[in-house]
């Protein structure tokens, strides 16, 4: 095995590990370069010197709260691996984990770009409908597996859905009068289980990244698996149109956008919430303010976002509408969503579970708990 300089283990002021290309961790993982960065730490590409292949290593900041969160994520990933050793359910595969001088490190299989980064690199040119269908189908299938095992992901967003391989073709787009990227393979994996929560565990009041946050979370009415379904509805819209459905950073404005796009928040929820956004069951919102004008000008009823009146497009919007039901108890479940007509056109070779290898393990899917 090659030897490298022994890294003098140092952290920067934020708690990130200071490293250089060529550093070797655990006498095994040689750092090749940085793949990305987040609040939790960094993701680097490493070469496993024992197995001679590359992988992605998530190096968590040397900060107590992130270290504890990483331990929870490892626990979830280990449970998922027990249930689904062959990753039939499309959750990212954890290959190893270790504590490196206070930095929790988690090694994963190497994957391609996220569906968000691919969209961004493609100038926010939306995905073709057949690709939206296949990505959405896999997402429902994967998250349904979590739900069947008493877990809620709580942080579903396009950044947390990665292509297995993000190679693309350039295709001429006559509307844009230029070439756009079209990903060759739409197989995806679900990542980031750092906020995943078991039914029996403490449920934090606020979960999810803002744009994908369900109304029951904003209104602090308690949440469970249906909050993931809401997020998936927002994601399907974004893949189809290339724009975020709820582009805001403020709770009251977010609720106003929901009302403009989906209709009034149900009185039951408006009256039950302890938050101060409603008065006598009505959202307190000034339509004449600059924020009011912004919402009116930038949001319209959901069905008006449809790009075509073909049945495929109608079916997609019917599904999104059912995923964006305000009432969590009325919201479509992922079991129901998988049977929605929008997914009837999934090609036989893309089918999972009912016709594919996924069914082999269904019987073993006893509930998981920590």
Can you give the length of the chain in residues? 370
Dist. CA 333–CA 340, nearest whole Å: 11
CATH of span 10-109: 3.30.200.20
**pLDDT, averaged across the chain:** 93
Tell me the pLDDT band of 238, cut-offs 50, 70 and 90: very high
CA 60, chain centre distance (Å): 19
361 has pLDDT over 90: no
Binding residues for ATP: 58
pLDDT at residue 364, rounded to an integer: 40
User: Which residues carry a binding-site annotation?
Assistant: 58
- Does 10-109 match 113-350 in CATH topology? no
Summarised one tens digit per residue, pLDDT across range 44-97 is 999 999 999 999 999 999 999 999 999 999 999 999 999 999 999 999 999 999
- What is the 8-class DSSP label of residue 57? E
- Segment (H or E) for 304: none
Handedness of CA 269, 226, 253, 239 (dihedral sign): negative
Angstrom distance (rounded) from CA 198 to CA 245 = 28
Can you give the pTM of this predicted structure? Answer: 0.92
pLDDT of residue 354: 59
Phi, psi (rounded to 5 degrees) for 5: -60, 140
27-40 in b/e form (b: 16+ CB < 10 A) is: ebbbbeeeeeeeeb
By annotation, the residues acting in catalysis are 155
- Where do the domains of the chain lie? 10-109, 113-350
Please give the Cα distance from 365 to 101 (Å, whole number).
37
Q: Tell me the Cα Rg of the chain.
A: 22
The 8 Å CB, 24+ separation contacts for 125-130 are 125/173, 125/176, 125/180, 125/181, 125/242, 126/239, 126/240, 126/241, 126/242, 127/183, 127/239, 127/240, 128/182, 129/240, 129/312, 129/313, 129/316, 130/345
Mind listing the pLDDT tens digit for each residue in 310-339? 999 999 999 999 999 999 999 999 999 999
What's the token pair of residue 72? Answer: 């929870």
Q: Are 211 and 231 in contact (CB under 8 A)?
A: no
Query: Which option is the CATH number for 113-350: 1.10.8.60, 3.20.20.70, 1.10.510.10, 3.40.50.410?
Result: 1.10.510.10
Query: 175 pLDDT band (50/70/90 cuts)?
Result: confident
pLDDT more than 90, % of the chain: 91
Check residue 356 and give its pLDDT. Answer: 45
pLDDT at 8: 62
- Asked whether residue 355 carries a pLDDT value surpassing 70, the answer given is no
Structure tokens given for 166:
């993000």
Distances (CA, A) of 66 to 39, 61, 151, 228: 9, 6, 20, 23
pLDDT band with cut points at 50, 70 and 90 for residue 176: confident
CB 14 within 8 A of CB 39: no
């Amino acid at each position: 095995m090659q030897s490298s300089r022994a890294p003098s283990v140092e952290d920067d002021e934020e708690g990130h590990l200071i490293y250089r290309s060529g550093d070797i961790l655990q006498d095994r993982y040689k750092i090749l370069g940085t793949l990305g960065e987040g609040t939790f730490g960094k993701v680097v590409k490493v070469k496993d010197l024992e197995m001679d292949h590359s992988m992605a290593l998530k190096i968590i900041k040397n900060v107590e709260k992130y270290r504890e969160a990483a331990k929870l994520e490892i626990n979830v990933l280990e449970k998922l691996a027990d249930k689904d050793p062959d990753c039939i359910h499309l959750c990212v595969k954890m290959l190893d984990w270790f504590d490196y001088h206070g930095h929790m490190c988690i090694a994963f299989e190497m994957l391609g770009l996220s569906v968000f980064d691919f969209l961004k690199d493609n100038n926010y040119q939306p995905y073709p409908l057949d690709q939206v269908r296949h990505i959405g189908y896999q997402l429902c299938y994967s998250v349904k597996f979590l739900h069947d095992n008493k877990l809620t992901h709580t942080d579903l967003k396009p950044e947390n859905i990665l292509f297995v391989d993000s190679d693309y073709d350039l295709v001429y787009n006559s509307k844009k009068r230029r070439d756009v990227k079209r990903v060759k393979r739409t197989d995806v994996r679900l990542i980031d289980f750092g906020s995943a929560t078991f039914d029996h565990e403490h449920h934090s009041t606020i979960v999810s990244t803002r744009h994908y946050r369900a109304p029951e979370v904003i209104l602090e009415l308690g949440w469970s698996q249906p909050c993931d379904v809401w997020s998936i509805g927002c994601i399907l819209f974004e893949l189809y149109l290339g724009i975020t459905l709820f582009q805001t950073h403020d709770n009251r404005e977010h609720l106003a956008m929901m009302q403009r796009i989906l209709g009034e928040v149900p009185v039951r929820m408006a009256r039950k919430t302890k938050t101060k956004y409603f008065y006598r069951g009505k959202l307190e919102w000034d339509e004449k303010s600059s924020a009011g004008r912004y919402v009116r000008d930038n949001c319209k009823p959901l069905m008006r976002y449809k790009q075509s009146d073909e049945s495929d497009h109608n079916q997609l919007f019917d599904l999104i509408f059912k995923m964006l039901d305000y009432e969590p108890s009325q919201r479509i479940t992922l079991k129901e969503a998988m049977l929605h007509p929008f997914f009837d056109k999934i090609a036989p070779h893309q089918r999972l579970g009912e016709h594919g290898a996924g069914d082999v393990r269904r019987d073993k899917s006893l509930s998981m708990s920590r």
